[in-house]
Amino acid sequence: MSKPIHDGTISGSLTGTVPSLVEVRRKATLLKAGALQKAIFNSANFSSIATDANGVIQIFNVGAERMLGYSAAEVKNKITPADISDPQELIARARALSAELSTPITPGFEALVFKASRGIEDIYQLTYIRKDGSRFPAVVSVTALRDAQDVIIGYLLIGTDNTARKQIEAEQKKLDQRLRDQQFYTRSLIESNIDAIMTTDPAGIITDVNKQMEALTGCTRDELIGAPFKNYFTDPERAEAAITQVLSEKTVTDYELTARARDGSETVVSYNATTFYDRDRRLQGVFAAARDITERKRLDQVLQEKNVELERATAVAEKASLAKSDFLSSMSHELRSPLNAILGFAQLMESDSPPPSTGQMESIAQILQAGWHLLKLINEILDLAKVESGQVLLSEEPVSLAEVVLECLAMVEPQAQQRGIALTFSQFGIPRFIRADRTRLKQVMINLLSNAIKYNSKRGTVEVDCTDSGSGRIRVSIRDIGGGLGAEQLAQLFQPFNRLGQEAGGEEGTGIGLVVAKRLVELMGGIIGVESTVGTGSVFWFELLAVVEPQLCMEGGNPTALAQSHAARAERLHTVLYVEDNPANMTLVGQVIARAPDIRLLAAVNGTSGIEMARGYRPDVILVDINLPDISGFEVKKRLSSDPATADIPLIAISANAMPLDIERGLKAGFFRYLTKPIKVPEFMEAMNAALEFSGPGLGQGKMNEDEGRCST
């Protein structure tokens, strides 16, 4: 019979010797739980602060040390958590809890743990103050620690640094505000637009509208959203086609539609639209604007009618102006015949023998003075008529300013000396060239210089200066120290026949010269103006386009080869006459001719002298500029062709008028060749060779032998 086993004895024996399996497991669990608790308590990411029942800190873990900057030894048994919290927040928390729980709560530690002491779960935010005085937001969970009898023996405050979350919340708040602001701004833009704005989905269903769209259709925003776009136009198919077009072409501009409102009223609109997409470039729909163009169409109609009227009026005015200019031109020429007789016979009477009496001489002097003045008036009227009727032909080319200014100063010097006026010209270091018609440029310069002399003070000065204007132009200024002009006079300065009150003065004039000068400068692409002060004097100026100094255009031509090409023709000297008023062009052609040893050059500075030299020297070839100071190159050609002695001489035109019509006109006039400036050496020499071949031997031979090597002007 076996003995019963006593559980207590066995258990005792086992306990004293070998631990039971349950006890081992329980100890292991306790050890594991203890290690876990220790790990949590000592975590650097949480501040764990335990206090006694009075709130004095007893435990201050590693996380609390890291977050608050205190060591455990500095706070244990010395301060409460309230001492490291924002005092203002504690006051506010005490006030809020007192109102919430209807009981007075003291600001301080009590406010931190009051809810926990009543068994109420309490997690709140507060601001901790570090040892260095800096602050950071924290989320704190408070738990009351109790003994076996449920008596509070302390409090555990577990906190986390809430700085990052606060920053994220602040950034999110800013983003939310920006989004609200952007939405408000976008909505304001849409609503403030004068156009009716709408958006539709790709099927043409309205998704949003502005107030202008409501006004256009007479419908509310709620009524419009969700309705087909095409329903609000008189031609739904055309409206639907507009949506289709913008979906295929991405945009539609000035697509005309007629909107119909609820009350039946119609409005013509200009429809403009484009597609819009989300951030992933997926098509969202169409953004469209419809602008009321009813008034614009009415104004367009009025404008069209006015334009027709204006065109008619302009045609009548141009016809009248042309008739006036033709009349003035015709009358100017008709007046010359009797005036020629008046001046001619007056001059004969003045030089008669025996001489006229003193009284007769005075009368003759008056006749001559009035006659010459009348001739000047006729010439200026003729100039004005030519300018206004567009009959002035310009030959624009590089012109040396220094040469023109010096020539003009020499021409007006006798007038200046007679009045005791000193003329000065500021010379410049480098050559300055402008694009202009040399003859017309001199006409402008002489007019301005003559005025500066006439209206100057007694023994005054006239200064001519040339400067860069800074806009690719060169400004020519002519300064006098005369009486100057007032604002009212300046406003009337360039009016025809307006002498600005000088009619009663001692100076003769027509009031036309400045008008002609202004229009000539403008025809040459320039501007003209004046600066004046009463009592000080005036500065008249004009600006023309600056150009580089003209150079020979060789285009691969070799000077030596050019000279050699004429060796076979060098049996005799050939004579070439060049009729040109521009010294720079004369010099250039002279340099080219110098490379041909069998050619000698004669020079004439105007058409009349060119004709005389052609008849006297009978050159082999004549080069002639089209725009000359006295007569045109066409007139030179006409006169020489009508004279049997010169009719067979080939004439080569050299002109800055390089339009195809100019060239065609020159060739039709009978010129052997028509060359345009700047000349190209190979082309020029080819034309010369052909002309010399055409002219044959004998034309300029005899005269050139007599005056061999001499270049006449």
Are 664 and 695 members of one domain?
yes
| Helix orientation angle between 87-101 and 109-117, rounded to the nearest 10 degrees | 40
Instruction: Name the range with the highest mean pLDDT among 272-281, 407-416, 421-430.
Output: 272-281
End-to-end, the C-alpha distance of the chain in Å comes to 169
CATH number of the domain to which 329 belongs: 1.10.287
Q: Examine residue 400 and state whether it is found in any structural domain, yes or no.
A: yes
> Rounded to whole angstroms, what are the CA distances from 278 to 209, 243, 563?
19, 19, 77
Are 420 and 516 members of one domain?
yes
| Residue 15 reports pLDDT greater than 70 | no
Q: What is the pLDDT of residue 168?
A: 80
Q: Examine residue 343 and state whether it is found in any structural domain, yes or no.
A: yes
Distance CA 508, CA 377 (A): 10
540, 452 Cβ separation under 8 angstroms = yes
Overall number of domains in the chain: 5
Which structural domain range is residue 59 located in? 26-161
CATH number of the domain to which 224 belongs: 3.30.450.20
Q: Examine residue 12 and state whether it is found in any structural domain, yes or no.
A: no
159, 67 Cβ separation under 8 angstroms = yes
- The average pLDDT across 358-374 equals 79
The 8-class DSSP code of residue 468 comes to: E
Amino acid at 342: I
Domain closes at, from 513, 547, 581: 547
CA angle, 91 as apex, 86 and 94 as ends, to 5°? Answer: 120
In DSSP terms, which residues pair with 283 in a beta bridge? 277
Q: Examine residue 494 and state whether it is found in any structural domain, yes or no.
A: yes
Q: Examine residue 166 and state whether it is found in any structural domain, yes or no.
A: no
More confident residue, 637 or 182: 637
Pick the closest to residue 605 from 448, 480, 452, 711 (CA basis).
711
Q: What is the pLDDT of residues 591-638, one digit of tens each?
A: 888 878 888 899 999 999 999 999 999 999 999 998 888 888 999 999
Q: What is the pLDDT of residue 34?
A: 56
Pick the closest to residue 631 from 609, 662, 647, 651 (CA basis).
609
Domain closes at, from 547, 571, 588: 547
262, 217 Cβ separation under 8 angstroms = yes
* Secondary structure of residue 522 in the 3-state scheme: helix
Written as six digits, the tokens of 241 are: 């086609």
Domain closes at, from 240, 265, 292: 292
Are 464 and 484 members of one domain?
yes
Q: Examine residue 583 and state whether it is found in any structural domain, yes or no.
A: yes
Written as six digits, the tokens of 261 are: 């409102």
Are 539 and 630 members of one domain?
no
Are 286 and 355 members of one domain?
no
Are 631 and 573 members of one domain?
yes
| Residue 586 reports pLDDT greater than 60 | yes
The percentage of residues in the chain with a pLDDT greater than 90, rounded to a whole number, is: 29
CATH number of the domain to which 634 belongs: 3.40.50.2300
Written as six digits, the tokens of 374 are: 């009348």
Are 383 and 502 members of one domain?
no
Q: Examine residue 554 and state whether it is found in any structural domain, yes or no.
A: no
* Secondary structure of residue 157 in the 3-state scheme: strand
Q: What is the pLDDT of residues 280-326, one digit of tens each?
A: 889 999 999 888 888 888 888 888 888 888 888 888 877 776 666 66
540, 671 Cβ separation under 8 angstroms = no
- The average pLDDT across 110-133 equals 90
The 8-class DSSP code of residue 510 comes to: -
Which band of pLDDT confidence, cut at 50, 70 and 90, is reported for residue 440?
confident
Q: Which residues of 282-312 are buried (b: 16+ CB within 10 A; e: fewer)?
A: eeebbbbbbbbbeeeeeeeeeeeeeeeeeee
Which band of pLDDT confidence, cut at 50, 70 and 90, is reported for residue 431?
confident
Are 411 and 471 members of one domain?
yes
Are 411 and 352 members of one domain?
no
The percentage of residues in the chain with a pLDDT greater than 70, rounded to a whole number, is: 79
Beta strands of 130-224 (E only): which ranges? 135-146, 152-161, 196-200, 206-209
Written as six digits, the tokens of 98 are: 């007192």
286, 200 Cβ separation under 8 angstroms = yes
> Rounded to whole angstroms, what are the CA distances from 265 to 256, 258, 272, 666?
17, 10, 21, 67
Are 532 and 612 members of one domain?
no
- The average pLDDT across 516-520 equals 86
Q: Examine residue 170 and state whether it is found in any structural domain, yes or no.
A: no
Are 451 and 465 members of one domain?
yes
Dihedral, CA atoms, 239, 244, 249, 253, nearest 10 degrees?
10
- In this prediction the pTM is 0.41
* Secondary structure of residue 422 in the 3-state scheme: strand
Are 503 and 526 members of one domain?
yes
Which band of pLDDT confidence, cut at 50, 70 and 90, is reported for residue 712?
very low
CATH number of the domain to which 536 belongs: 3.30.565.10
Three-state secondary structure readout of 546-588: EECCCCCECCCCCHHHHHHCCHHHCCCCEEEEEECCCHHHHHH
